Amino acid sequence: MAGLARLMAQTAGRAEVVVGVVDGPADLSHLDLAGQQISVLPSGHWAGRGAPGDECRIPASAECSHGTFVVGMLAARRASPAPGICPACTVVTRQIFAETPAGQAGPAATPDDLAAGVVDTIDAGARVINLSLGLAASSLARTGAIDDAFDFAFRRGAVVVTAAGNHGLVGPAPLMSHPWLLPVAACDLAGRLLPMSNAGITIGRHGLLAPGAGLIGLSPQNGYKRLSGTSVAVPLVAGAAALLWSLAPDATAAQVRDALLLPGISRRSIIPPLLDAAASWHSLRAVSAVNPARGR
């Protein structure tokens, strides 16, 4: 899928490569996450709602379900029915919204919450940031706090991968236009854009397309489920970045990001090109051999 099988066959990742997940809480008691290198960061105004490893106080909540699914896509053991992409990497999670009982609308992430989560995970050592969450459609504009957070990621050499959004919008997406951000739109297994996925010129020019239809993953209390949308497409790209860095530990963030974006591919559409992790590894190997890492 998207060239990931070949990359996953070469490595399960390296512990030195830290992936930050800014999302809802995750059920870290799931058997397929047992023994994995996952840590939980203090969650600002949501802190104190549970000890590390017990973040899902309401397993039936949409927030717990979502966070568990995303963390599982990255970190679940390879023998799982829903194997993780980079289970040997270190994952740090940062919760940015609290749980609500099933049937109640959960709070959306605010721009300030999102920015704080990005900064906190980078401070914890993350080199890849997975943002499988969206802002409300009315909040898709860039803000000073978000720009500062993405600028901070650039300075610290952390690749930021974010969901393009599930609003079905086609057009300008100011939030996605930050030059260091890598937005991900979702497609089906045939490479066709999902109707729910946002698309636009900024996403087409700076992002990638990845499968996001009916993917299987972990759910709380040792369960499994299928989800669709840009949220589940993001870990495919973030996981690919972590594997690339695991195979080329001296590569810079810019080299990894450029390899993912497949230099030379035409970008004249509102729909970005499909992730090809195997081609990205070929590109990164070639660039790393000719231009060894120098700073960022």
CATH of the domain at 230: 3.40.50.200
Residues 139-145: what's their mean pLDDT? 72
Q: Is residue 295 part of a domain?
A: no
Residue 91 near residue 37, CB atoms below 8 Å: yes
Tokens of 50: 């549970």
Contacts of 141 (CB under 8 A, 6+ apart): 174, 175
Pick the closest to residue 75 from 128, 144, 5, 28 (CA basis).
28
Helix (H, G, I), strand (E, B) or coil at 245: helix
Residue 123 near residue 223, CB atoms below 8 Å: no
Residues 85-109: what's their mean pLDDT? 77
Pick the closest to residue 128 from 182, 202, 204, 88 (CA basis).
182
Residues 150-158: what's their mean pLDDT? 98
In which band, very low, low, confident or very high, does the pLDDT at 294 lie, cut at 50, 70 and 90? Answer: very low
Q: Alpha-carbon distance 294 to 107, whole Å?
A: 42
230-247 and 62-75 helices, crossing angle to 10° = 30
State the amino acid at position 166 in one-letter form. Answer: N
pLDDT > 90 in the chain, percent: 67
Q: Give the predicted TM-score (pTM) of the model.
A: 0.92
On the question of pLDDT at 225 being above 70, the answer is yes
At residue 57, the pLDDT reads 80
* Residues facing 109 on adjacent strands: 135
Burial class (CB in 10 A: 0-12, 13-18, 19+), 5: exposed
On the question of pLDDT at 47 being above 60, the answer is no
On the question of pLDDT at 104 being above 60, the answer is no
At residue 46, the pLDDT reads 42
On the question of pLDDT at 69 being above 70, the answer is yes
Q: Is residue 72 part of a domain?
A: yes
In which band, very low, low, confident or very high, does the pLDDT at 49 lie, cut at 50, 70 and 90? Answer: very low
Q: Alpha-carbon distance 273 to 295, whole Å?
A: 28
Q: Is residue 16 part of a domain?
A: yes
Average pLDDT, the chain: 87
Q: Is residue 233 part of a domain?
A: yes
Task: From residue 296, give the alpha-carbon distance in Å to each of 57, 256, 257.
Answer: 40, 10, 11
Q: Alpha-carbon distance 91 to 150, whole Å?
A: 19
Give the CA angle between residues 219, 221, 224 to the nearest 5°.
30
Residue 168 near residue 198, CB atoms below 8 Å: yes
Q: Is residue 296 part of a domain?
A: no
At residue 63, the pLDDT reads 87
Number of domain units in the chain: 1
Contacts of 28 (CB under 8 A, 6+ apart): 38, 40, 52, 53, 54, 55, 71
Contacts of 175 (CB under 8 A, 6+ apart): 135, 139, 140, 141, 142, 146
Q: What is the pLDDT of residues 237-279, one digit of tens each?
A: 999 999 999 999 999 999 999 999 987 777 778 999 999 999 9
Q: Is residue 139 part of a domain?
A: yes
At residue 34, the pLDDT reads 93
At residue 292, the pLDDT reads 52
At residue 45, the pLDDT reads 44
Q: Is residue 40 part of a domain?
A: yes
On the question of pLDDT at 141 being above 90, the answer is no
Tokens of 69: 């699914």
Q: Is residue 14 part of a domain?
A: yes
Least confident residue range of 4-8, 100-104, 255-259: 100-104
Domain that holds residue 226: 4-290
